[in-house]
Structure 1
Amino acid sequence: MSEPRLTNPTLYLQRLGFDAPPPPTLETLRQLQFRHTGAFPFENLATLSGEPVWIDLPSIERKVLHDGRGGYCYELNNLYLALLQTLGFDARGISGRVVIGQPEGAWPARTHRLSLVTLDDERYISDVGFGGMVPTAPLLLDSRGEQPTPHEPYRIDQHVDGYTLRARLGDEWRQMYIFDLQRQEDIDYAVGNWYVSTHPESSFTRQLMVARTGEGWRRTLNNGSFALHRIGQESERREVADIQELIALLDDEFGIRVPENALLIRTLERLIELQ
């Protein structure tokens, strides 16, 4: 798979708070991942709009950097990997199976994209596209202990089929996704994205999912249910009453500009009514 090329890395870096390209160091990787999850929201409006979800770099750059939008893993982690490679990181894409909320031992389809980064002979996973539980720091692949992040602690369990990422929520270590290091090509991501964005059993085609992180907080929106989660505090929750409130909330809390798409608006109205 050829190394992707960004058309406007300067703008991308500026959106992340960098005036000049930073060096490919662990500290830079930490800053990039944390800032990325705050600057560019996870969202799946595109899968509800009835239009194709394009995951080539020019389409993602236009959508995320110019159109006031975010995206999901096949978009955000594709864009992010291209930035890492542009900055000189030894990084490549890998994939995983999302098991959050599923019973132990579940083995769903490969529908998640993330990145493997090697620095000074240490391997890390770096992920900016996992919704409301996205890790906000790179995680050492070959460490089995608890790893702190600016938000929840995580750990990586190794097993015969690869690895399982877990997050500690309260006293419980909950599984997030299973992944391995198998080589991936563009066609692998195209197939996964096609399933995620079109299959009737995909949650991305049946509900609105939006998330953004910041210093000490996470914001999430599931259909019309908005929540603000603060570290060490009770979550604040409220229900969205109508489409106008939803559009305003997406702009004010997530920085998302809702496209003018009649099917999308009707779908969002229906999802609000179902809550």
Structure 2
Amino acid sequence: MTIPIRDTAAVDVAAYLRRIGVDGEVAPDLPTLFRIVERHTRTIPFENLDPLLGRGVCLEPAVLWDKLVRRGRGGYCFEHSGLLHAVLDELGFAVTALLARVRWGRPDGVSAPRTHQVLLVEFAPTSYLVDVGFGGPTPTAPLALVPDRPQATGHEPCRLRRDGEVVTVEVRRGAGWRPAYDVELQPQSRADLEVANHYTATHPASRFTTALLGARAPAGRRIALADLRLAVHHADGRSEQRQLTNVDALRAALEEDLAVTLPADLDLAALFDRLAPT
């Protein structure tokens, strides 16, 4: 069952496709979905400047389009998935919003709130999980809702484990598999998403209000920012890390590595001072 979102007509799909570099014919089919997911994760960065600065996050499709497309910003999961949901709706895909409990970076057995949004795109006979906003390990291809089968993406392979109506997305790291999050296959209404987004964007215990996070997945590598440490992970297993020691380095990381168009009113010096160790 799909639950529609509001005001999808406010999203300029042609401008979105130009933003991510998808040209030619598009249709509500699987090849188009794969092209869009690959290009979206390559070009629109994951970043949490607004929650970190206390500016909140609005999920209205027109606002998401203005921020991530027209103004060249990035966003976090609710923004990426919200924008893509609106675009796919306009293109004629059958899309449902789902919520997930993040396990990445958490000890086994520690329960997490449902603070991550993904999409379910329905095809017959197999539907696909689509996630363009998980940050560092974001799957860069749709994942068929088929358990226990490694699935290739443009980066690391992924696989799904299923236990009833809960699907665990796992990412291949080295010789093993790491759980990223548990998706509950229950359609979420706009109200459900608003509540989860409000907690994630404003609660003092949310990592998005206390740390600077950024990520992008160009071909052959992943770029990740955590406060003042920038890492580049290559497909051949090499990793490079550097500490950002001044405001100019932070600006370069955001604008050049992550491809974020910074807001004109951002006091980057104040942000650097806030993140710098004392």
Which range, TM-score by smaller chain?
over 0.9
- The 5-angstrom pairing of residues 56-95 of structure 1 reads 56-95=60-99
2-structure distance, mates of 1:151, 1:109: 27
* Matching of residue 254 in structure 1 with residue 261 in structure 2: no
1-structure distance, mates of 2:109, 2:143: 23
2-structure distance, mates of 1:150, 1:112: 22
Secondary structure of the structure 2 residue equivalent to 1:116 = strand
**Counterpart position of 2:145:** 141
Q: Alpha carbons of 1:197 and 1:265: their partners in 2 closer, same or farther (altered >3 Å)?
A: farther
Secondary structure of the structure 1 residue equivalent to 2:114 = coil
Moved beyond 6 Å, runs of 4+ = none
Q: 1:196-245 CA distances to partner (integer Å, 9 max, x unpaired)?
A: 11111111011000000011111011001001111013101111011222
**Counterpart position of 1:106:** 110
Q: 1:6-46 CA distances to partner (integer Å, 9 max, x unpaired)?
A: 43111011112234550122111111111000110000000
1-structure distance, mates of 2:267, 2:257: 23
- The 5-angstrom pairing of residues 183-262 of structure 1 reads 183-261=187-265
CA RMSD of superposed structures (Å) = 1.6
AA paired with 2:187?
A: R
Any unmatched runs of 5+ in structure 2?
none
**Counterpart position of 1:39:** 43
**Counterpart position of 2:14:** 10
AA paired with 1:43?
A: E
Q: CA deviation at 1:249?
A: 1.9
1-structure distance, mates of 2:269, 2:91: 39
2-structure distance, mates of 1:265, 1:119: 48
* Matching of residue 55 in structure 1 with residue 85 in structure 2: no
Secondary structure of the structure 2 residue equivalent to 1:119 = coil
2-structure distance, mates of 1:241, 1:3: 43
Count of residues paired in the alignment? 274
TM score, norm. by length of structure 2: 0.93
2-structure distance, mates of 1:7, 1:70: 16
AA paired with 2:136?
A: G
Secondary structure of the structure 1 residue equivalent to 2:187 = coil
AA paired with 2:74?
A: G
Aligned-residue identity in percent = 36
Q: CA deviation at 1:161?
A: 5.3
Q: Alpha carbons of 1:32 and 1:194: their partners in 2 closer, same or farther (altered >3 Å)?
A: same
- Counterpart selection for 1:173 from 155, 174, 177: 177
Q: Alpha carbons of 1:95 and 1:82: their partners in 2 closer, same or farther (altered >3 Å)?
A: same
Q: Alpha carbons of 1:199 and 1:49: their partners in 2 closer, same or farther (altered >3 Å)?
A: same
2-structure distance, mates of 1:173, 1:62: 37
**Counterpart position of 1:126:** 130
Q: Contact (CA 8 Å) 1:13, 1:21: kept in 2 or not?
A: no
